[in-house]
Amino acid sequence: MDGRSAQGDDTVAARGEFGLIRAVTAGRSQPSTTLLGPGDDAAVVAAPDGRVVVTTDMLVQGVHFRLDWSTPEHVGRRAVAVNLADVAAMGAVPTSVVVGIGCPSDTPAALVTELVDGMAAEAGRARTGVVGGDMVRADQIVISITALGDLGGRPPVTRAGARPGDIVAVCGRLGWAAAGLAVLGRGFRSPVGVVNAQRYPEPPYAAGPTAALAGATAMIDVSDGLLADLGHIAESSDVGIDVQTDRLPVPQKLTDVGSALGADPLHWVLTGGEDHALAATFPSFTDLPEGWIRIGSVLLPDTGVTVDGQAYERETGWEHWR
């Protein structure tokens, strides 16, 4: 399935740009931070802190999602989730989402409305809303999301604040999306739990601001793999990081899937991307907030990211064009 429809059906071309926009915006609720929602030249969003956290990501059909693996609603949820996870990783509370969608003219209108249904549902899970956007013709489905957030008077938690002696902790699932990708790649559609983890992540949005309040010194969302993303903190902070595998939970479900596929579930946990868990460093005396698990330590520079004190010899995560 490529998301296209025969001519004469209810397509985006039949609806037209403005008819489609009316269809996807009608009846959508907005949070209190939306002062002016869809329908004008631009939205107006409250910024109580006086500063706005902004992030954007693109999802391209065939690169980031496949419609024979995921429903349009799954894709919509995923598109919003990957952006809101970035907002949370700065220690901010999401306030709004702006959407850009490009698709062929013979794309069924229902596919686009289902995409936006998923976007609205995921934005609602983070207690924010889709406040506006744009739709254009394209050769394949392309989704661009911009998400905004509020820091609540706190400084942003960047990748550059980790210091030797800090502890490393994570909150959220690790390895599930990678396991789901392995299952789908073998042509299977179950177990549903791991397959759905690949279709759309469930980032722990509230854990970002909670970590900031607890004194997190650096933070990142795990989009490309735990080791790869901890490497960004290590590089930005000029420190080393060691991950202790005896502290990393490997769920029984991943162990079962790994056994069935002849794969190492710990490798999924260490290097699998797209779960969008949060990883952060904290001063050693910190009582970690609920849901956060200590998995390692911040070391002196020049050690890079190690696993149980040793260099990890396999690929550490995903990088475009590599």
Is 238 annotated to bind a ligand? Reply is no
Cα-based angle 140, 223, 160 (whole degrees, multiple of 5): 130
Q: Strands, DSSP E only, in the chain?
A: 34-36, 44-45, 53-60, 93-103, 130-137, 142-150, 167-171, 218-222, 240-243, 277-282, 293-299, 305-307, 310-311
Cis peptide before 191 (omega within 30 of 0): yes
Tokens of 316: 């550490």
Is 106 annotated to bind a ligand? Reply is no
Give CA–CA dist 202/171, Å, rounded: 11
Is 274 annotated to bind a ligand? Reply is yes
Tokens of 131: 């406040």
AA letter at 226: L
Is 318 annotated to bind a ligand? Reply is yes
Is 221 annotated to bind a ligand? Reply is yes
Is 105 annotated to bind a ligand? Reply is no
Is 159 annotated to bind a ligand? Reply is yes
Nearest C-alpha neighbor of 317 from the set 226, 247, 216? 226
Is 74 annotated to bind a ligand? Reply is no
Radius of gyration of the chain (CA): 20
CB distance 83 to 56 below 8 Å: yes
CA 290 from centre of chain: 21
Is 134 annotated to bind a ligand? Reply is yes
Is 267 annotated to bind a ligand? Reply is no
Is 246 annotated to bind a ligand? Reply is no
Tokens of 307: 């696993």
Tokens of 184: 């789908």
Sequence ranges of the binding site: 41, 55-57, 64, 86, 133-134, 159, 221, 223-224, 274, 318
Query: Which parts are annotated binding residues for substrate?
Result: 64, 274, 318
Task: Give the residue ranges of the annotated binding site for ATP.
Answer: 133-134, 159, 223
Which parts are annotated binding residues for Mg(2+)?
41, 55-57, 86, 134, 221, 224
